[in-house]
Chains A and B, each alone.
Chain A
Amino acid sequence: AQSVTQLGSHVSVSEGALVLLRCNYSSSVPPYLFWYVQYPNQGLQLLLKYTSAATLVKGINGFEAEFKKSETSFHLTKPSAHMSDAAEYFCVVGRGSTLGRLYFGRGTQLTVWP
């Protein structure tokens, strides 16, 4: 069975501070992992995707995530937060098969203070 746990439904940081959004997954097979971002009143946009080619994945807008198999984690980070990063972030796991259904975490709302 697949599941995704995002630790912290709300995270607040100051502009310029480190952003760390935590995600742990459980999967019976090697997973496919994604982070999506949702800006207010918009659909979801892909931030980055883990492809197994490298454990550190770089995405758009300066975000990156590190896959740690031993910890079953895929935390999202950004060295310096910007006001425009305020959004909801979803950690997502795929089943590692040809079946396309994805499993979404409950989301983490990121607030950036000036």
Chain B
Amino acid sequence: AGVSQSPSNKVTEKGKDVELRCDPISGHTALYWYRQSLGQGLEFLIYFQGNSAPDKSGLPSDRFSAERTGGSVSTLTIQRTQQEDSAVYLCASSGQGDSNQPQHFGDGTRLSIL
């Protein structure tokens, strides 16, 4: 099984909180979140590697947070959503987190803020 993301689509009103879920490939220790806006490339958000402190350097504001429970499933939370948060949120996992390891992507969650 590959990387699984849910929901596949999410429509919500401005100001609401949303949670996006990512279930990585079993045994993969590294997990990444990216954001893909229309006409843009992929924007790195956050990276988890094993039990190490996550690399949060890509989170655009303090409204964004993510956690990874038990070294497996991850949840990306966006609080007080804004229209500019509308994008496809992609999750990826890799075996060991080395940058020579290919990342395996889920199909993404398409988030629309009304």
Q: Name A residues whose Cβ lies closer than 8 Å to a Cβ of B.
A: 32, 34, 36, 41-46, 49, 51, 90, 94-107
Also in contact, A101 and B55, with CB within 8 A (given A44-B90, A44-B105):
yes
Query: Which of A42, A43, A100 is packed against the most chain B CB atoms within 10 Å?
Result: A100
Residues of B within 8 A of A (CB): 3, 30, 32, 34, 40-42, 44, 47, 49, 55, 90, 92, 94, 97-108
- Contacts A44-B92, A100-B30 known; list 13 others, CB within 8 Å: A32-B99, A42-B107, A43-B105, A44-B90, A46-B103, A100-B32, A100-B47, A100-B103, A101-B32, A101-B44, A101-B99, A102-B32, A104-B42
Alpha-carbon separation in the docked complex, A41 to B108 (Å): 9
A-B complex: 5 closest residue pairs judged by Cβ atoms? A94-B99, A43-B105, A100-B97, A106-B41, A104-B42
B41 and A90 form a contact (CB under 8 A): yes
> How far is B105's CA from A41's CA once the two chains are assembled, in angstroms?
13
B101: shortest Cβ distance to chain A, in Å?
Answer: 7
Q: In the assembly, what is the distance between CA of A111 and CA of B49, in Å?
A: 37
List, sorted by A's number, 18 A–B pairs whose CB atoms are closer than 8 Å.
Answer: A34-B102, A43-B3, A44-B42, A44-B90, A44-B105, A46-B103, A98-B97, A99-B99, A100-B32, A100-B94, A100-B97, A100-B98, A100-B101, A101-B55, A101-B99, A102-B103, A103-B44, A107-B41
Residues of A within 8 A of B94 (CB): 100
User: In this complex, what residue of B is CB-closest to A47?
Assistant: B102
Expressed in whole angstroms, the Cα–Cα distance for A44 and B108 within the complex equals 9
- What is the distance, in angstroms, from B36's C-beta to the closest C-beta of chain A? 9
For B40, give its contact among A45, A95, A106 (CB under 8 Å): A106
CA distance A34 to B107 in the complex (A): 19
Q: Is the CB of A51 within 8 A of B100?
A: yes
Contacts of A107 in B (CB 8 A): 41
